[in-house]
Amino acid sequence: MHIKLIPLLYLDPGSGSMILQIVIAAALGGAYAVKVYWKKIKRLFRGKGADEEVDGTAVLTEDQQQENDVR
C-alpha cells in the first residue's frame, strides 16, 4: 500500500492570507504590548537609584528632594 502525503501540504490562497494576517496581528500586538509596558521595561533596565515614575507622578530621590527644598 502506497500513501502520498503531498496533498496534505497544499496551501490555497485563503490559507496564505490567513497566515499573513496572523503574522501581522502578532507583530502589531507585540508592538502595542511594548507601548503599554514601556515604562516598566525601561525601569527594569535602569536599575535602582534612577528616577522612577509611579502612576504618572515622578518619584524624586532624597538628593533631588533636598535640592528642591534649597531652591
Q: Which three cell numbers stand for residue 59?
A: 518619584
* pLDDT at residue number 60: 64
Domain boundaries of the chain, sorted by first residue: 6-70
Tens of pLDDT, residues 15-44: 888 999 999 999 999 999 999 999 988 888
Distance CA 43, CA 38 (A): 9
Distance CA 7, CA 68 (A): 74
